[in-house]
Structure 1
Amino acid sequence: MFLNFIHACIFAAIMALLLNLETATTNCSVSIAENGNLLAIKEFDSAAYSHAEQLHVFIEETLQMASLQMADIDAVAVSKGPGSYTGLRIGVSAAKGLCFALDIPLIAIPTLESMASQANDAEVNFVIPVLDARRMEVYSSVFNQDMEEIRETKAEIIDENSFQEYAAKGKVLILGNGAQKCKETLTHPNFSFDTTVVPSAKEMAMLSYKKFKENNLENVAYFEPYYLKDFILLKKKA
């Protein structure tokens, strides 16, 4: 018991300045957090996907806002996907480059988990973040009230039967830029929709700090984004 107490104290005492990069969708977002507490954030959501031009500028600006140097950063966290192929490549390439140059760890945050953490309705039983893919397809995952993932990430075509097993059990919040597709198709009264949510480096702050404390790190040399490229679904012909 005493040793467990000591380990808990050491775990709680871990301090970290983390740089968080979110480029999985149209939102180019950068934040710096200390022990999970946001110090500075810079983001811009544009359909033009200007990440290549803006990401490194935003990194410099957030460092200035937090009165820090790049050498002060203890680790870099990046949104790993699913999402835009180009956006993910830009974010991961930048993160890996910084980690190599500074010899610091890389942390990967699932994009849908970060989105789910934006849910602010305490009465919701399930949170389903959805990212627009193609036609009626979305990337989705399912989380319970405790923000535990209870169904893995999938690419799926939305129809009238989608997510019905969760609506039958309680209130379901579907959020993200794929929520409009769901809203047009799903009619169960237990569904609610938030089409305004986009992945942001703000929500990455606590998630990346948790992984840092757990030493849940990536291999910088071999890490690749989570594209879900194998999931290309076609409806069967009658």
Structure 2
Amino acid sequence: MSNHHILQFETATQVCSAALSTNGETIAFRDVNEPNIHASRLTLLIEEILRETGLSFPDLSAVAVSKGPGSYTGLRIGVSTAKGLCYATDLPLIGIDTLAGMAAGFKELHKSSLDADTWLCPMIDARRMEVYRAIYDQALRPLAPVSATIIDAQSFDTLKSGQRIVLFGSGADKLNTLFSGNERVEIIADFKNSAQHLSHNAYRKFLAGEFVDVAYFEPYYLKDFVTTTPKK
């Protein structure tokens, strides 16, 4: 079987990340967790991982990008970089749902400690008590669609008796005290988005030929971007 190398970007949150996978397995990645550095660092990360692996653009089979929801500016930079590379190299483009990528990455990191029936709820911070979230089972099948949701102490009261759910991501980190004492809701802090979490989904979509139209592909912002005037 020939090797299929896919270049991957994750810029939906504060983390700026690039990775390279071969047949669905990550072979190199770079994560930088600093605010407002996507525009200046993403192309440098790409150069670093290509140099590390000894690969060049003619060796690649596709480019994959985390498509959102998430940071408006981060998503715009990641998608525009991916589209620019695809135009220049004639590579196909794969769009990966950001929350689905998070769920896949979290499961891989915690597969030895997760109960088989625990639901996964990746969350990205929106503002105040609002998050972008979705819910998946252990097979990574979606149980609740991607949505912008205001979280309160009653948000998961509809869980059946004995059902457990784990919350993770930048949106979950601000909920530490909200569910204290609730045995059905667990928060795993400090999970960070990474392009390496896209590897399995990107390869699956590549094999299925699930590519997006480079000319018309846009990030999935979920909500309209609203500019505000800074307070004096």
TM-score by length of 1: 0.87
Please tell me whether the aligned partners of residues 123 and 171 of structure 2 are also in contact (alpha carbons under 8 angstroms).
yes
User: Taking structure 1 as reference, are residues 231 and 26 closer, same or farther at Cα in structure 2, changes over 3 Å only?
Assistant: closer
Q: CA deviation at 1:181?
A: 3.3
Aligned partner letter, 1:189: E
The alignment-based identity, stated in percent, is 41
Aligned to 1:122: 114
Does 2:73 align with 1:86?
yes
Backbone CA RMSD of aligned residues = 1.7
Q: Deviations over 1:136-181 (max 9, x none)?
A: 1000000011111111000011112212223645121100111133
AA of the residue aligned to 2:80: S
Give the Cα–Cα distance (whole angstroms) in 2 for the partners of residues 31 and 78 of structure 1: 10
| 1:104 counterpart SS class | coil
Q: Alpha-carbon deviations, 1:95-146, whole Å to 9, x = none?
A: 0001111111100111111111213132152000011101110000000111
2:151 is aligned to: 158
Larger radius of gyration: 1
Gaps of 5+ in 1: 1-12, 233-238
Partner in structure 2 of residue 113 of structure 1:
100
Q: Specify the alignment match of 2:21 in structure 1.
A: 33
Counterpart amino acid of residue 211 in structure 1? K
Kindly state the Cα deviation for residue 15 of structure 1 after the two structures are TM-superposed: 3.8
Matched, 1:142 2:135: yes
Q: How many residues were matched structurally?
A: 219
Q: Tell me which residue corresponds to 2:30.
A: 42
Deviation at 1:209, TM superposition (A): 0.4
1:225-236 correspondence to structure 2 within 5 Å: 225-230=219-224
Q: Give yes or no for contact 1:130–1:178 (8 Å, CA) kept in 2.
A: yes
8 Å CA contact retained: 1:126, 1:166:
no
- In structure 2, stretches of 5+ residues that fail to align are 227-232
Per-residue CA deviations over 1:37-96 (Å, capped at 9, x if unaligned) read 1111111111x2201000000001100011011221110000001110000000000000
Q: Corresponding residue for 2:229? A: none
Equivalence for 2:217: 223
Three-state SS of the structure 2 residue aligned to 1:83 is coil
- Report if the CA contact (8 A) 1:162-1:186 is conserved: no
TM-fit CA distance, 1:198: 1.6
Taking the aligned partners of 1:72 and 1:189, their CA distance within structure 2 comes to 49
Give the Cα separation in 2 of the matches to 1:170 and 1:32.
36
TM-score normalised by L of structure 2: 0.89
What is aligned with 1:7?
none
Structure 2 residue 44 is matched with structure 1 residue 68: no
- Quickly say closer, same or farther: Cα 1:166–1:231, change in 2 above 3 A: farther
Q: Which amino acid aligns with 2:32?
A: F
**What letter corresponds to residue 114 of structure 2 in structure 1?**
A
Q: Which amino acid in 2 is paired with 1:130?
A: M
* Counterpart Cα distance in 2 of 1:194 and 1:82: 20
Contact kept, 8 Å, 2:82 with 2:93, in 1: the verdict is yes
